[in-house]
Chain A
Amino acid sequence: MKPISAEEAIAMIPNGATVMVGGFMGVGTPERLLDELVRQRKSELSIISNDAAVPGKGVGKLFDAALVSTLTTSHIGLNPNVQKQMMANKVAVNLVPQGTFVERIRAGGCGLGGVLTPTGVGTIVEEGKRKIDVDGKSFLLETALRSDFALIHAFLADYLGNLTYALTARNFNPVMAMAADTVIVTAEHIVPVGVIAPDHVVTPAPLVDYLIANG
């Protein structure tokens, strides 16, 4: 796989695109790709990301630059900019329980129409959703989530695009790498094929469309 620049990769993303971004509170987030989204001023983005991080970090940068129109997420509590933009109706925020959020993305990446979860039954999360009883227990039908692009951050990528992750920077990255039409990856280190043992590959190379060259 021939690596490309962050500039070339982000140039492929049109305004208004739906973009998944890996990371948890900015940990395991492809910061170079977010910086480039801001630099190229890609706007009206629909972002799918676990949280809104904090101003100046991770997806928080996209809100600092007011580039987001819709956010699907589980938590915005540590980013006052998002709260303000939500209250001013500049950003539509869809709040999803975190376990449901990841399962909807997993379903999207695995060819499933959705998942049945007990989470949210009997709360305002169930509004507008189908409730399905299985063996006497109630579940909500939560539909699959997919996106046009996924921006992923790995620890190691080999020349083919096989990926591994580090510590708590793994989080949503391998799940999102399954659920987008185009997958763009930054890695802390790009290493020769064979450095990552077959048993240690988490995201197989065929899932990766573009690997960003390290400087």
Chain B
Amino acid sequence: MDAQSLIARRVALELRSGNLVNLGIGIPTLVANYIPPDLKVFFQSENGLIGTGPIPEQGMAHPLLTDAAGRPITALPGACTFDSAMSFGLIRGGHVDVTVLGGLQVDAEGHLANWMIPGKMVPGMGGAMDLVSGAKRVIVAMQHAAKGKSKIVQKCALPLTSSRPVDLVVTDMAVIGFSGGRITLQETAPGVTVAEVMAVTEADLFIPAEVPQMNI
């Protein structure tokens, strides 16, 4: 299994029937591929849809039905559409149960940086700041390291997305939580040892006596 599918598969285990879920662009989008059929999750697309369905079959795309990246999608039975004020009212108002976002850095306090690299890349924050500030639960889905550098850092050097800490980080090597106010190694990926995780983690991880393997 490639790293991205592994992350998406593990994040999918966090979702519960009835959840209203917003998936960010990139690895988070893949999470929808791993939802068991009996799990009824509502996916929100922040451009104004609850009930986002899979990519349409060839020739069935509608130019006025797209995801937040402008790509054609479908709408499931029971879907509804709304304007952007409503969409972000849902997000900021705590009505979204879970958001899954990509990340550039997460630090020991759970702070996420994911919207700019000063002087290099300034795409804009889009909806990320509202999602982290308002969703009930924030999960970061990202590679553990980039070009050999840990993305789990002691303190974010990049501009923060929110002062609100995230709840869970799922990487290709580990699941990291923040319960009890400290950054904790909760699980390792199949075939990855605790020592290997520690070797590519800059933050001072708390290691419990028992660290189970991801159940995927």
Q: Which positions in A face B, CB cutoff 8 Å?
A: 24-28, 50-51, 53-54, 73-78, 83, 86, 95, 97-100, 102-103, 106, 117-125, 155, 165-175, 202
Contact = CB atoms under 8 A, between A and B. Distances in A.
Nearest to B90: A99
B47 A83 contact: no
A77 B114 CA distance: 13
Interface string B149-175: 000000000011111100000000000
A74 B127 contact: yes
B160 A117 contact: no
A26 B82 CA distance: 17
B65 interface: yes
B19 interface: no
B29 interface: no
Interface residues of B, number: 41
Contact of A78 (B69, B83, B85): B69
Contact of B161 (A77, A123, A168, A174): A123
Contacts of B62: 167
A53 B129 CA distance: 20
A171 B124 contact: no
A119 B133 contact: yes
Interface in B48-88: 48-49, 62-70, 75, 81-85, 87-88
Contacts of A166: 64
Given A24-B84, A118-B92, A167-B81, A98 B126 contact: yes
A83 B119 CA distance: 11
A76 B126 CA distance: 9
In the A-B complex, the 6 residue pairs with the smallest Cβ-Cβ separation, listed nearest first, are A122-B163, A77-B123, A25-B70, A99-B88, A99-B130, A75-B124
Given A25-B69, A119-B133, A171 B83 contact: yes
Interface in B161-216: 161-164
A179 to B, nearest CB: 11
B103 interface: no
Contacts of B91: 99
Given A86-B122, A167-B75, A171-B48, A125 B70 contact: no
Contact of A124 (B45, B130, B159, B164): B159
A51 B82 CA distance: 18
A202 B84 CA distance: 13
B6 to A, nearest CB: 26
Contacts of A122: 160, 162-163
B107 interface: no
Which of B69, B127, B129, B160 has its CB near the most chain A CB atoms (within 10 A)?
A: B129
B65 A167 contact: yes
B82 A95 contact: no
B47 A97 contact: no
A102 B68 CA distance: 15
Given A98-B84, A102-B85, A125 B129 contact: yes
B40 to A, nearest CB: 22
A64 B137 CA distance: 40
Contacts of A74: 124-127
